[in-house]
Amino acid sequence: MTITETIPVERIATSRISEIDFKNLEFGKYISDHMVVAEYRDKKWHAPVIKPYGEMAMTPAILALHYGQAVFEGMKAFRTVDGNITIFRIYKHHQRLNRSLERMCMPAIREDMFVQSLHALVELDRAWVPDDEGSALYIRPVVFASESRLGVKISDQYKFVVMTSPVGPYFNKPIKVKVEETYVRAAEGGTGYAKCAGNYGGAFYPTQLARQQGYDQVLWTDAKEHNYIDESGAMNVMFVLNGKLVTPRLTTALLDGVTRDSILTLANETGMPAEERRVSLDDLIAGFEQGTLTEAFGAGTAAVVAPIATINIHGKDYHLPPVTDASFQMRIKKKLYNIRHGIEPDKHNWNYTIVVK
């Protein structure tokens, strides 16, 4: 019996795949035919099922809508050169999901249930995995409190849902970012390291203000002094400074990015010294003035690598050198691409492979 056969499947009557223009994919706009749904009740997770993607019945009193118990993950599946499909770092994403669930007082999801759910869904909707360069099947697991009850409490009921979406490149050009020195994304001791819904909702307003001023994203700073870099928008941020790859060290205010971890691992293997430390605004300004800050980029599942062209610090725009194929960020992006697509050896066993028959 295959993994797919262990999960009951209700197939969609007519696929919607013919409606999708795979040459013009907007990130997250199109959802694939099916979704995984599992329920937590009576203090345990019940077996997941796969059903057609669509609306779910629930009341406006579910606790997630009122008190914010909702967390999610984001990962990608890729077509390999031998015709199979890989899900990148599925176990690392599962571990991070459970850390987020613990922080939000939500029940953990077993590794076998998580892996089998994703495997079965991607295998079923394998035709939705695009094969153009820079494209992938984005996978979005989400867990939310589904108990219908008004009152501030930890929910006794939850839903685990997995959906997928064919996506193209997240950013199609280098971005401009503004250092945020007023608003705060997260503070140490808070939920910054958890991938919970509220972190993103709270970031919308300052990001909107930055966009009105001509910037694409904000560079978040620490909550105490607004002097140390935390993250870039919805991504980790990395710099090539004084010939080293430098990125803010992890705290409880920062998300432990899977792409971040992958790039740090590969950097050390390719001879690029890598350093995790506090990165101050003075460090960046000095790097610009002395010409030692040569690259800056966001790193995350959605974008993989997002080149940064401009950083606004204290109201002044500083510009990075143009990105070329020889830039570290492009070389490491290419290496990640090659590993995910089976072009280079997967020495770290990062790829979870689904054999397409």
DSSP string, 131-172: -STT-EEEEEEEEEE--B--SS---S-EEEEEEEEEE--S-S
pLDDT of residue 118 exceeding 50, the answer is: yes
For 262-271, what is each residue's pLDDT tens digit?
A: 999 999 899 9
- Residues forming CATH 3.20.10.10 domain(s) in the chain: 175-323
| Three-class SS of 61-74 | CEHHHHHCCEEECC
Distance CA 312, CA 179 (A): 6
- Tell me the mean pLDDT in the region 316-331: 97
DSSP string, 256-319: --HHHHHHHHHHHHTT--EEEE--BHHHHHHHHHHT-EEEEEEEETTTEEEEEEEEEETTEEEE
Distance CA 264, CA 90 (A): 18
pLDDT at residue 234, as a whole number = 79
Tokens 């019940």 found at? 46
DSSP strand pairing (217-221 vs 175-179): parallel
pLDDT at residue 281, as a whole number = 98
pLDDT at residue 357, as a whole number = 83
Cβ proximity of 193 and 252 under 8 Å = yes
Least confident range of 22-31, 51-60, 249-258, 322-331: 22-31
- Tell me the mean pLDDT in the region 33-59: 97
Name residues whose C-beta falls within 8 Å of residue 353's C-beta, 6 or more positions apart in sequence: 80, 84, 85, 86
- Tell me the mean pLDDT in the region 220-246: 95
Distance CA 282, CA 179 (A): 12
Domain 175-323: CATH superfamily is D-amino Acid Aminotransferase, subunit A, domain 2 (3.20.10.10)
Least confident range of 26-30, 113-117, 176-180, 206-210: 26-30
- Tell me the mean pLDDT in the region 43-48: 98
pLDDT of residue 5 exceeding 70, the answer is: no
pLDDT at residue 1, as a whole number = 40
For 297-322, what is each residue's pLDDT tens digit?
A: 999 998 899 999 999 999 999 999 99
Percentage of residues in the chain having pLDDT higher than 70: 99
4-167 is classed CATH 3.40.50.720 = no
pLDDT at residue 220, as a whole number = 97
For 134-179, what is each residue's pLDDT tens digit?
A: 899 999 999 999 999 999 999 999 999 999 999 988 777 899 999 9
**C-beta neighbour count of 330 within 10 angstroms:** 16
Distance CA 49, CA 39 (A): 10
What 3-state class would DSSP assign to 3? Answer: coil
- Residues forming CATH 3.30.470.10 domain(s) in the chain: 4-167
